[in-house]
Amino acid sequence: MRRRPTREEEFYCCAGCWVAHHLAGDDDDEGGGAAGRLLARLVFAAFLSMGVMVFSLSLYGEGWARSMGAGEGEGIEALRGLGMLGAGLLSVPIFLLLGVPLLEAVVRMRRWLSSEALILLGVLASLTISFWNMARGEGHVYFETASFVLVLVTLGRWLEASAKEKASAQLRALLPTRVDPVARLVGDGEESIDPGEVRPGDRIRARPGEVVPVDGVVIEGRALVDASPLTGEAEPRPVGPGDEVVAGSIPTDGSLVLEVTAVGRDRILARVDELLAESLRGRGRLARVADRFAAVLLPFVLAACAGTVAWHWSAEGPERALLAGLSVVLIACPCALGIATPLALWLAMGEAWRRGALVRGAEVLEDLARAKHIWLDKTGTLTEGELDVIAVELLAAGRELGEAGVIALAATLEEGSEHPVGRAIRRHSRKSRGACAPGHRIEEFRVLAGRGVEGRVDGRDVRLTRFDGEAGNAAGSGPTRVLLEVDGTPHAIFSLRSRPRPEAERVLAELRSLGFEPRVLTGDGPGPAALLAAELGVEVRASCSPEDKRDVVSAPGTIFVGDGWNDSPALAAASVGISVEGGVGRSLERASVNLLRPGLDALPELIRLARRASGIARWNLAWASAYNAIGLALAIQGKLTPVVAAAIMVVSSTVVVLQARRVLEARPQSGSFQKGAG
């Protein structure tokens, strides 16, 4: 009966990653000690490999001496014996350090037809023949080949495993770890309970500034509710009895009593391990192609080796037959295929991390490289999420006070308010010369739930309320507008909008230079959408629900960039979902890329990096496949000696590794790809 892999084993894409993780030690180690121990193993093994190479050079020196006519003297034989013995002795601890754990992983995870199994086959064949020839005192040895193969294999797997572990740790650090208590109404009083204890049918109180932890229906109170994390709209919406309030909303100016209709699971923290296992388990497509090729190659190589040995045995004798069979195994060792093909993507993931982008898997880079379409959320992504005053329209009665006077009155009225409109007017007041005149006093301040605020400023009745419009601007067809009334007379209309990020226009231009036609999805109405479209010269689709966004971005080859909970379905449905810095927990959970630095500057550079890495990985795959095919054909015909086969194998691996290193040559063109993720 076939053993099912454990959940822990399923987390790792290959036996090499399992080895890298378990050689590193416990996850709970602090200060990078676990990774340090694995790195120490690699460094020690690499140091021993250098010793193997030095002793192997003595064997090459023997051949050179004979070619110069030195003959078969005792000195030459002593040199040969010393070289074999030294290389053989040093190769044993290298195999114990790196080869035995890899063999254990292949057996434990039953990855019989994999690139790791083929690498082990080549290593074991090299060591077996080498020790056999050393015991016979003649023939070639290949200790240096086996040693360097193990070092390179483990180094490559360590790079991938480290990237995934770092991605997991960073994602957990970004997720919320604290939940505020809930005020549940009991009789004539209330009690403070944990959100996990709330049940459907309970009545809870949500005060201004508190995050509503559950879905519910308002049964008492009125307020403006900031639902920007959920709907993507910067402007709060009014709610009253009978209206639904979704978890994550924040009342801004009034207290609400809700009847709970639905409670969430311990949604993020309870699912984070499962989420990471699902998202980080996947191996890149090119790596999977290489694995499938290796799986087909292994039985073919075994058959080819047996056939080659039989053919040359009958034609040229057993010694020639064994050498030809060894050449077949060595030339087929998939170092280039199993290591350097995904190495370009591993290096790109590390470079992206260093530059402030957390990429959760090599396959994400491949999807980024192939993407043809890109959609961006508006609020919090292309805009900064805060409202800004863009115009103050003085009405007839307000001209006497002037613009500075009406701004000062409005700012004084909004003192102490945390409503987005109030914050915007206060900021505008601070920026406006002369608008912050001293001496204004506010009395009898009142919140008009769901409509605005009012009070007495310097003895005059002042009111600031939502304006839906006459003045040639129908509701919903322009920016957010509020009306300032003094003693019952309209004095001014303030127009507000969420301001674009400073880099938005430049980033859109860079995306166009990459062949994209960037477009925007927003939950805002047609007015704010039209303003953004005119300012940035981009197509904007307004009044999009989360389901609308999901349906639009679900087309193959689509990138979606967002930040709010309302973006979660779209982030999950897109080929590549990218969460910007500041995104809430669920958007981080669903995204395949997290931008860890403020702004969008990293986006075009990340796409360039992905395209470069994917191109290099494809080149490496083509090279490794061609090398294996041509090399096998020559080895089967007996035209390659084991020494030449091993040398070609090393050269091929070196070529693809150097080619993969070219990924790191892709430096930011605009200087804006933020440096340092942590």
E-assigned strands of 275-419? 357-359, 373-377, 383-394
Query: Residue 485: is its pLDDT beyond 90?
Result: yes
Query: Residue 422: is its pLDDT beyond 50?
Result: yes
Least confident range of 75-84, 209-218, 353-362, 454-463: 75-84
Alpha carbon distance 540, 567 (integer Å): 16
Per-residue confidence (pLDDT) for residue 286, from 0 to 100: 61
Least confident range of 82-91, 297-306, 388-397: 297-306
Per-residue confidence (pLDDT) for residue 473, from 0 to 100: 43
Q: Across the chain, what does the average pLDDT equal? A: 75
Quote the pTM value.
0.59
Query: Residue 10: is its pLDDT beyond 50?
Result: no
More confident: 53 or 180:
53
- Half-sphere exposure for 404 (CA within 13 Å, toward CB): 8
CATH architecture of 182-267: Distorted Sandwich (2.70)
Delimiting residues of CATH 3.40.1110.10 domain(s) in the chain: 385-500
pLDDT tens by residue, 258-292 = 998 877 553 333 343 444 444 444 455 666 666 66
Delimiting residues of CATH 2.70.150.10 domain(s) in the chain: 182-267
- Residue burial 41-73, b: 16+ Cβ < 10 Å; e: rest: bbeebbebbebbeebbebbeebeebeeeeeeee
Per-residue confidence (pLDDT) for residue 418, from 0 to 100: 67
Band of residue 588 on the pLDDT scale cut at 50, 70, 90: low
- Residue burial 170-198, b: 16+ Cβ < 10 Å; e: rest: bbeebeeeeeeebbbbeeeeeeeeebeeb
Least confident range of 274-283, 387-396, 548-557: 274-283
Nearest 5 degrees, angle CA 117-CA 118-CA 120?
A: 65
Band of residue 576 on the pLDDT scale cut at 50, 70, 90: very high
Alpha carbon distance 17, 23 (integer Å): 10
Band of residue 558 on the pLDDT scale cut at 50, 70, 90: very high
Per-residue confidence (pLDDT) for residue 561, from 0 to 100: 94
Per-residue confidence (pLDDT) for residue 275, from 0 to 100: 43
More confident: 586 or 582:
582
Q: Which CATH class is domain 385-500?
A: alpha beta
- 329: its two tokens: 């195994």
Band of residue 32 on the pLDDT scale cut at 50, 70, 90: very low
Q: Calculate mean pLDDT across residues 232-258.
A: 79
Query: Residue 524: is its pLDDT beyond 80?
Result: no
To which H or E segment does residue 442 belong? strand 442-448
Per-residue confidence (pLDDT) for residue 370, from 0 to 100: 92
Delimiting residues of CATH 3.40.50.1000 domain(s) in the chain: 364-383+501-606
Query: Among residues 202, 253, 367, 377, which one is catalytic?
Result: 377
Least confident range of 45-49, 293-297, 546-550: 293-297
Per-residue confidence (pLDDT) for residue 355, from 0 to 100: 77
Per-residue confidence (pLDDT) for residue 298, from 0 to 100: 67
Q: Calculate mean pLDDT across residues 507-535.
A: 88
pLDDT tens by residue, 634-673 = 888 888 866 577 667 767 777 777 787 788 775 555 444 5
CA dihedral 399, 402, 403, 405 (to 10 degrees): -130
Q: Which CATH class is domain 364-383+501-606?
A: alpha beta
Per-residue confidence (pLDDT) for residue 1, from 0 to 100: 43
Contact 546, 557 (CB under 8 A): no
DSSP state of 565: G
Per DSSP, what are the bridge partners of residue 647?
none
- Start-to-end CA distance of the chain, whole Å, equals 47
Query: Which range among 230-244, 255-269, 336-350, 392-406 has the greatest average pLDDT?
Result: 392-406
Considering only CA atoms, which of 150, 141, 137 is closest in space to residue 88? 141
Considering only CA atoms, which of 401, 414, 409 is closest in space to residue 439? 409
Band of residue 232 on the pLDDT scale cut at 50, 70, 90: very low
Active site residue 377: yes
Q: Calculate mean pLDDT across residues 175-180.
A: 51
DSSP state of 99: I
Percent of the chain with pLDDT strictly greater than 70: 68
